């Protein structure tokens, strides 16, 4: 398994381009299963989860061309397998996004129960209840979820999600676009990625209104066609680089982002003393303010509030802020695994249940640490960038799932970070090298 070796202390400076949103590209790639026509997606980030999703589409029988590194053209005109196998689902929970489109278009789908990040129990009961409400028969067979639509397909209905679920909302949208009649989703997730998926589906001929609000209405159509779509910028990568500028005391110009998609993060970071200038609608400049960083409490909540996917990075920043901050995680259990590694580096963090209390500011020292999930990895990288001495981060394959060429990007900004490849395991767990321009 690969490691990162980092010698902290360099303020990051320069300009960085944000890639496409992983969490938008995943459902958009799944949506290509809804039509036999070609769908072209641009700005698909070059990260491991998307390589897995492409592999899944190919396993199902779709043809996926990549005329450019971040452009995928998918033609799902010969789908002859309706199953997402365990070996893919276990590495990436988002494989469950195949359920909605397969069920909607072909009336059948089989997906192994999901794995993904080790951040506690992540059930899909709400997806399944919604499919049943659309008329599907859902059963569990040998660890797989099997869903079948009745003769004549799914029928539109009203889905009242008892809890807000992002991929659940996306799965139901994709199942409902080809259903008979109208589907109303209440208590829908409002994340920008939902709107992006709705944009793509509308370009394919779907009739959807209300995406980005708590109520989404979908009028079923008989079939969908081809489309061309550009994935929105990744708001979590954007937030991570803002924190990188602040935690290292540097200054970053962050380009090709959408500040409007991370208002709660920007507001909280400003409160904590980070200067964030909005140069234009897609460019930010971030630096630590002259007064230094001040502790501020945060609670993770569904969009438009502070996202759970920024909680770990925010905790790293709070170790460098004056005062005490209380960080409350309301979305996932077991999502403080980065905290114990931060403590090993010298942070003063006490946690119990879903609350962590961070007392700052504490100097961080290099130590061997282990990344436990995607966002925890980002938090640890940020912490070691401002730590004294050399730090080795183990199990960095987690970060490859969602951050494109993170080492190269950080090095281009002045970070002293290198990836150390280890033996045969690296050959199987490593991202293929990005082709270099001639």
Q: Which is nearer to ligand UD1, 159 or 386 (CB)?
A: 159
Cα 372 vs. chain centroid, distance in angstroms? 16
Give the DSSP letter of residue 61. Answer: T
Residues 6+ apart with CB under 8 A from 169: 161, 185, 188, 189, 194, 216
The two tokens of residue 278 are 């909005």
* Sheet (strand 227-230) strand order: 63-68, 71-75, 38-42, 227-230
Which residues pair with residue 73 across a beta bridge? 40, 65
> Minimal distance in Å, beta carbon 190 to ligand UD1?
11
Q: Which residue lies nearer to ligand UD1 by CB, 50 or 252?
A: 50
* Nearest-angstrom CA–CA distance, 298 and 265: 10
Rounded to whole angstroms, the Cα distance separating 371 from 393 reads 7
Nearer to ligand UD1, 92 or 206 (CB): 92
Give which of 248, 287, 282 is closest to 262, Cα–Cα: 282
Closer residue to ligand UD1 in complex, CB, 34/417: 34
Q: How far is the CB of 73 from ligand UD1 (least distance, A)?
A: 22
State the CB neighbour count (10 A cutoff) for residue 80.
Answer: 7
Closer of 301 and 416 to ligand UD1 (Cβ): 301
Q: What are 39's two structure tokens?
A: 């769908």
Closest CA to 197 of 312, 31, 80, 365: 31
Residues linked to residue 218 through DSSP beta bridges, in sequence order:
183, 208
The distance from CA 60 to its chain's CA centroid, rounded to whole angstroms, is 23
**Strand order across the beta sheet in which 348-352 lies:** 298-299, 323-328, 355-360, 348-352
Q: How far apart are CA 327 and CA 79, in angstroms?
A: 46
Positions that interact with ligand UD1 (CB under 6 A): 23, 26, 93-94, 122-127, 163, 165-168, 307-309, 331-332
121 within 8 A of 139, measured Cβ to Cβ: no
User: Are 138 and 147 spatial neighbours (Cβ–Cβ below 8 Å)?
Assistant: yes
Q: Which one is catalytic: 28, 117, 257, 386?
A: 117
3-state secondary structure of 88: helix
* C-alpha to C-alpha distance for 117 and 372, rounded to whole angstroms: 8
Q: How far is the CB of 151 from ligand UD1 (least distance, A)?
A: 27
117 included as an active-site residue: yes
Residue 291: CB atoms within 10 Å: 9
Minimum CB separation from ligand UD1 for residue 259, in Å?
19
Q: How far is the CB of 98 from ligand UD1 (least distance, A)?
A: 12
Give the helix/strand (H/E) hosting 270: helix 263-271
Which CB atom, from 97 or from 252, has the smaller least distance to ligand UD1?
A: 97
Instruction: Give least dist CB 296 to ligand UD1, A.
Output: 21
Nearer to ligand UD1 among residue 123 and residue 181 (C-beta): 123
The distance of closest approach from Cβ of residue 21 to ligand UD1 in the complex, given in angstroms and rounded to an integer, is 9
CB of 119 to ligand UD1, least distance (A): 8
Closer CB to ligand UD1, residue 13 or residue 122?
122
| Catalytic machinery residues | 117
């Amino acid at each position: 398994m690969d490691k990162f070796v980092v010698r902290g202390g360099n303020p990051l400076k320069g300009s960085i381009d944000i890639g496409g949103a992983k969490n938008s590209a995943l459902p958009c790639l799944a949506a290509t299963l809804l039509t036999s026509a070609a769908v072209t997606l641009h700005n698909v980030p070059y990260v491991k989860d998307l390589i897995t999703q492409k592999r899944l589409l190919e396993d199902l029988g779709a043809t996926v061309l990549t005329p450019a590194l971040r452009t995928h053209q998918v033609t799902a005109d010969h789908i002859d397998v309706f199953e997402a196998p365990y070996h893919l689902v276990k590495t990436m929970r988002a494989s469950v996004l195949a359920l909605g489109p397969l069920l909607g278009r072909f009336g059948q789908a089989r997906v192994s129960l999901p794995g993904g990040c080790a951040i506690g129990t992540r059930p899909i009961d709400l997806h399944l209840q919604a499919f049943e409400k659309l008329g599907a028969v859902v059963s569990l067979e040998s660890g797989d979820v099997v869903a079948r639509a009745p003769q004549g397909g799914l029928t539109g209905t009203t889905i009242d999600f008892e809890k807000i679920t992002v991929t659940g909302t996306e799965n139901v949208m994709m199942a409902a676009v080809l259903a008979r009649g109208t589907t109303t989703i209440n208590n829908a997730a409002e994340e920008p990625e939902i709107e992006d998926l709705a944009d793509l589906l509308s370009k394919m001929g779907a009739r959807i209104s209300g995406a980005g609000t708590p109520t989404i209405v979908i009028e079923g159509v008989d079939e969908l066609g081809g489309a061309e779509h550009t994935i929105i910028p990744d708001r979590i990568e954007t937030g991570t680089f803002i924190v990188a500028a602040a935690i290292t005391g540097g200054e970053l110009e962050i380009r090709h982002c959408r500040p409007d998609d991370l208002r709660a993060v920007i507001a909280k970071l400003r409160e904590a003393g980070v200067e964030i200038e909005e140069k234009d609608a897609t460019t930010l400049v971030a630096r630590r303010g002259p007064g230094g960083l001040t502790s501020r409490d945060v609670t993770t909540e569904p969009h438009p509030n502070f996202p759970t996917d920024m909680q770990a990075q925010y905790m790293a920043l709070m170790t460098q802020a004056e005062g005490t901050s209380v960080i409350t995680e309301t979305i996932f259990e077991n999502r403080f695994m980065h905290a114990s590694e931060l403590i090993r580096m010298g942070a003063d963090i006490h946690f119990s249940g879903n609350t962590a209390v961070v007392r700052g500011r504490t100097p961080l020292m290099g130590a061997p640490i282990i990344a436990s999930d995607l966002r925890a990895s980002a938090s640890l990288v940020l912490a070691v960038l401002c730590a004294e001495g050399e730090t080795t981060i183990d199990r960095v394959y987690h970060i490859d799932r969602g951050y494109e060429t993170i080492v190269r990007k950080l090095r281009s900004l002045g970070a002293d970070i290198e990836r150390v490849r280890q033996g045969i395991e690296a050959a199987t767990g490593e991202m293929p090298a990005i082709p270099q321009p001639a």
